Every structure is written in C-alpha cells, then in structure tokens.
A and B are shown apart, each in its own frame.
Chain A
Amino acid sequence: MTRRKWLAALWALSVVGPAPLAAQSYRVRLDTRLQAVRFRGLAFDSVLRAAVTPAPTGGLRTADGYAVSCATAATYCTFFRPGPPTTATPISTLASATVWGLGVPGLKVNLVARANTDLAGTDWPTSEPGLQLLEAYAGYTRGPVSLTAGRLHEASRLGWVGFDGGSLELRPLGRALALFGYGGYGLARNSPLPVTSLDLNPLGDSLPNRRQLVAAGGIRWFLPEFRGQMLYQREDRSGAEATVSERVSADWSLAASPEVSLVGGGDYDIAKGEWGKADITLNVLAANGKVKLAAQGRRYRPYFDLWTIWGAFSPAAYSAAMGSLAVSALPGLDLKARGEVFRFDEAGAANPLAPGERGGWRSAVSASVVRFANWSFDATYERGLGPGASSQTIEAAATYRPTNGLLVTVDGARLARPLEYRFDDVRLWSYGLRLDYEAARGLRLIGDARGVSEDRRRDDAGALSWNQLRLDVGVSLELASGSDTRRLHPVILRMPEGRRPQ
C-alpha cells in the first residue's frame, strides 16, 4: 500500500471511528508505537575458489579474511559479509473498539484493525499491507444462543484460525454445556491476510491461488470440577479436492481438590494420520498456597498445512518431562525453579557428515522481591542445551513506582549463545529503560530505550558488530462510556511480574 493510500485509510478510520461514540456504551482503544532502529544484517557473497587461501585454523578464507564454505568441485566459494547499515522507523497503530447497547439487547459490535508503515521508507518486516483488519464482527446473544458474523479469529489448541464468516454457540443447559461451530473463508494461519497474499510470500515460494474454507464444530462443558472442550476443525481449498488440514483436539482440566488439579489435552491430525501435540500437567498447591508444584509430560510435533510440502519431509516429534516449583518463601519474596528434559524421536536421517544430538534440557531459576515500598526486583537465570543450539542467560530488572501513575523499569541481561550450526560464539549484553506513565485516566505514555552490545567471537573478518540502540515511544488512549475508564487488562498484561500487589 502506498503512503497516500495509507493516509487515506487512516483518514477513513478517523471518520468512521467517532461514529460508535454516539452509541450507548462503547470502549475504544488506540495503541500507537513508534520505533527508531539502526542495524546491519548480512550480505551473501562469493569468491573464486582459486582466490581463497588456507587459514591458520585449518579452513579456507578470502584475501580480506572471511571464512568461506566451498562445496566439493565447486568453482566458487560462498560467505557472508556485513550488510549495509539500515535505519528504520516503523510505526504501528492498533485500534480496537467494542460497542454495545445499540438498542437491541445482547447486540455488540467489535473492531480490531492495525495500520503500519515505515517512516524511513525501508521495507520493514510486516509493514505491508499498511492497513490490516484483524477482526470486525457483530455478535448477538439472547438466552442460550450466541451468533457472531464478520471477520473472526478463533483460538484453540489447534492454533489461531481466522476467517470471514460466522460462529454459533448454543447453551442448552446454561453454563454447563455449550455446542458451538464456526466457519467461513479462511485467512492464513496466524495472519490477518489471506493465504494468497503476496505479503506472506517474501521468499517467492509457490502459493495457493484460492483461499481455504474453514468449518469447525465442538462441545464444551463446564462442571465445577471437570471442564473441557472437544473440537473438530477442517480446512479445504475452495474449488478443489484438496484438504488443507483436518484435525481434532481435546482439552480438559480436573480439579481434584482446591489444592490439586490435573490439566491436559492433545490433538490428532486426521489428514496425516498422526498425533500432534499433547500434554498433561499436575498442579499442586501446598502450605496454604505458598508452595506451588507442577509436573508435566508433553509431546511436541510441528504442524504444517498440506498446501506446503513440509509435512511430507516427516518432521520429528519430541517428548519432554518438566517440573517446576514456586515458593513464597517470605511475604514479598517469590522463588521459582523450572527444569525440562526432552528427546526427539528417531528421525531416520542420521549422517556422520553432520552428527547431531537428539536430546537436550533447559532450566531456569528466578526470584521476585516486592517487599519494599514502591520498588520491586526480578532476576532470572536460564540455561539450555539442545540439538544445534544452546543458551545461557542471566537477566535482572528493577521497577520503581514513584507515583501511582508512573512506572520506571530498568533491566539488563547477558546472553551467551553459540549460533545454530554456525562458527560464531556470541556474548551479548542488553540493557533497557522503560517508562510507563498514566498521564490521565485512559491515557498512557510509554517510552522505551534498549541497547544491545554484542561480542561475536570468531577468528575471521566475519565477526561483524550487531551493536544497536532501539528507541520506542508509544501512546495508549482508551475511551469508554460511563465512569469506568480505569485501566483494564492489557495494562495488567504489560505489568512487570512481581509488581507490588495493590
């Protein structure tokens, strides 16, 4: 979308936007973020094999010191140079509005849209198209029936699925039981764009030429101790006998007692005839809730739609066991520890030319301190080792609240990570300062400065600097009818964990 069209779209939004304000009840939120960043990436290059020389480390390199990769019998060797510096200034506005009380009891209208562009004129990722409609629907609830129509997103164990269509929910036994279904013309997975959009095809791959049809149905029950949901979802490419996906999933939670619960679920890919992801978690509260224990077993398998070839490449699944412990040792002091081991199934492709591990582990310990007036502190240490990658991170944050409306957070982290199957060994420091100020009821101002300082250890000229500084400013404006314009859930989501309880 050109900048002129983008501005026109914004103008249209500003014209349409105030219309719901005249309705009886509404809630409108505008969330704008502007970022300035300067970075340099990598540039692919090649050199004649005859022009490379042996390096002291035993490999080959160019005359100016870049390690190269030379395929057997190839005339050229290839390598990466530092790319040109790039400056970008992306800006994104998310607008959401809910309107109800339109004269028809039970009717409400919801809209979520996003406008993006890069003021510096670069091709900033995901900034096209400039205006994206995430949701736009009307919902009507009367007694045991709920109807919704428009652009919808449904979230489930099967992931996010978006579509232009409708949904229906029936609750014949009140809250205890619900039968539901939804369907329509589908959007690409995890995107507000149709799968045919060129904006979803940066690599110039083959794309479907028609959108898929989505149809789903399920049952949901809500008993005091046992809640759950079963879902069947299918996607077919319209006008062709081609299944995109056909899966079922089940989720449930069982509260054996106020202190013990069991939560789990899984999915099965009918189209491919194989199990997908599954997990079961035992949660235990002890010592009046001061000790929380969790033990989990899970199975992970990546999922790909059948319009891609990736499912035919037999991606391997892994099984994992996880345990976690959280202890409120003292008032205002929380300690947590978590550990997980995992192991991939036999992939059937082991090769001594590039041996790799099948198993790994990850662990973390953290502490939160909220004992002091207006101050809270958080620190985390994470370490993990897996096939082709590892990481070791220590991070800490301090949050200061001088007044009710102002939050100041300083954070820093150190990360060590050998890059996956690469020659690099990276030590990275990052640091940030974040201000979150509620200037008035419903108006928040956000400022965020983040720096990254990287020490890339490799013995050739390819040890480019990735140091960078990112500056963010943001404004969140929330308008609502009535007197309850106080801060709502999105703010809570963005609160640093361990903030002093109110």
Chain B
Amino acid sequence: MKATVAVVAAVIGAALGGSSGALAQHEPDYLTRHGSEARKSTAACATCHTQDSCRECHIGNPEVANALPPATPDNPGLAQIKRRPPASHQGGFRDRHAAQAAAAPQNCAACHVRSDCLSCHRPDAGSGTPGFHPAQFLARHPAAAYARETSCSECHSTTGFCATCHKTAGLVSSGRTLRGGYHDAKQFFLAGHGQAARQSLESCVACHAERDCLQCHSAQGSRRFNPHGPGFDAARLKQRNAEMCLACHATVPGEE
C-alpha cells in the first residue's frame, strides 16, 4: 500500500513539472528499504524509473538494474534520480564511517566501488587532492600526527610517504650522528627521550632510520641501552621472527 501511495505521489509530482527538488518524494526512510521492495517486484518502480535510476548509485553492481527497462529517447523515465548521500551519511559521517565500513562493507558496496575508497584512502597518496584531510592539512599535520589522534600509518607508508617528504625538507637524521639539534626545546632530550619515543614511535620513524637508534640500543655497540619495555615477550618474538633479534644481537638470545 505504501509503495502504491509513493508511486502515485511520484507520478503526481512529476506531472506537476517541478524541479527535482520539488518532485514528490518517497517516505523519508524509503531509501533504506527500497532494495527489499524492489526484489519483490519492480513493476511499480518501472512506472517512474529506468535502469539509469539504479545505476546512478549502484555503480559497483550495475546488474541490479536489469529488471527495469532501459532509458530510451522515448522513455527517459519520469523520475530523474540525483545521486546524493543518504540521511545516515549526514552529521560528519565521513569522520566516523570506519567502524561501520569494516563491520559491513557489503552495505557500502551497494553504492560504492573500491576506487571510491582509494580516492581518499589512497595508498601512498601524493596528489594533494583534498579528500580525507581538510584543506591546508599539510601545514598543520605535525600536531595531529604527534598527538596520535588518528593513525597515520593506517593509510600512509611511514617510510615511503612520511620519511620521503621529510627528507626533502631536510628533517631526517639519516647519516648523521645523534648529536641533536632538532629537538632543541629540551637541552637533554637525547639523554631522556625514552618516554617520548615509546609514546610517539610512529612519529620518530618518520625521520629516523633503525640505525639511528641502534647506535645506542644495539647489544653489539658500546652503549647497549636496553630498548625493551614493560611486557616485552622475547621468547615469543624469537619464535616468530628470529631475524628481528639479529638486528641488535650477534646471535639469537638463548641460542648462543
């Protein structure tokens, strides 16, 4: 009954000849349940819609439109669908879509294709196109990155993306001895950097190579400061990847 009323309303709206915004609409929540109703029957849909209506949004699985008639010059369709975000995407959905997208990606796939994700979550993004980040984010990314509000490394390669750019700006420490100079607000930063490093290790590796740290933290050097913190499970890591141990230890600990 509701569908019939909606179709009649759409026809009346179209007959009134208004713009798309003035056309009679389905019920506010119809978008969320139109799929199940269309699966029952598309006869009512075909009164106003053609395949183009479906393909406006269903770009990843355009075959869902096959049950409707194609648009022709004689029958362009009474309803002209304009793709737009549904109500559920209002109110900053872009900032909080991650969990829902991970939990039910098939929901997204109804309207989105993988290249949609890539336009923002572009691996190693380099075009500078505003997308996930707001405009001017480059100028203010240090504070956001350092505070670890979001994880830069979930989308960016800390070596290929962060360190490459920092190298161009002269910020990286590669190839130097660790005499400081950059972290100049604290005179003894190098001597007491442990807490800052453990809390913001992702920021450290955006400028520092492994060998920077190994100058003091390797078991084979002269200083041999132990880098392992609370909860470090040496036995487990040795079992899973003994090669990592050999970066600092001459032999795998426990197998000398």
Contact = CB atoms under 8 A, between A and B. Distances in A.
Interface string A122-147: 11111100001011000001000000
Interface in A204-237: 204-206, 220, 222, 227-229
A41 B182 CA distance: 13
B127 A94 contact: yes
B41 interface: no
Given A251-B102, A490-B119, 16 more contacts: A42-B171, A69-B181, A110-B113, A153-B114, A157-B102, A203-B167, A227-B104, A303-B153, A308-B210, A315-B201, A316-B198, A362-B149, A422-B184, A434-B130, A474-B129, A489-B112
Contacts of B15: none
A162 B160 CA distance: 15
Interface residues of B, number: 133
A243 B239 CA distance: 9
B87 A289 contact: yes
B193 interface: yes
B2 interface: no
B190 A71 contact: yes
Interface string B174-204: 1110011111111111111111111111110
Contacts of A420: 142-143, 146, 183, 200, 203
Contact of A450 (B116, B135, B233): B135
Given A272-B237, A308-B210, A493-B119, A486 B83 contact: yes
B99 A263 contact: yes
A326 to B, nearest CB: 5
Given A314-B228, A315-B198, A411-B136, A202 B164 contact: yes
B13 interface: no
Contact of A388 (B140, B179, B200): B200
Contacts of B70: 482
Contacts, number: 456
A306 B244 contact: yes
B123 A134 contact: yes
B52 A482 contact: yes
A387 B244 contact: no
A351 B181 contact: no
10 tightest A-B CB contacts, nearest first: A314-B229, A349-B194, A354-B192, A353-B192, A351-B192, A41-B169, A391-B143, A353-B188, A126-B126, A42-B170
A371 interface: no
Contacts of A289: 87
A123 B243 CA distance: 33
B107 A227 contact: yes
A309 B248 contact: yes
A358 interface: yes
Contact of B91 (A162, A292, A307): A292
Interface stretch (A2-10, A14-22, A77-85): A77-85
A58 B55 CA distance: 69
B71 interface: yes
B111 interface: yes
Given A41-B168, A279-B99, A415-B139, A242 B231 contact: no
Given A27-B59, A349-B198, A263 B100 contact: yes
B120 A493 contact: yes
A352 interface: yes
A309 B196 contact: no
Nearest to B66: A105
Interface string B212-256: 011001000000000111111100110011111001100000000
A393 B141 CA distance: 12
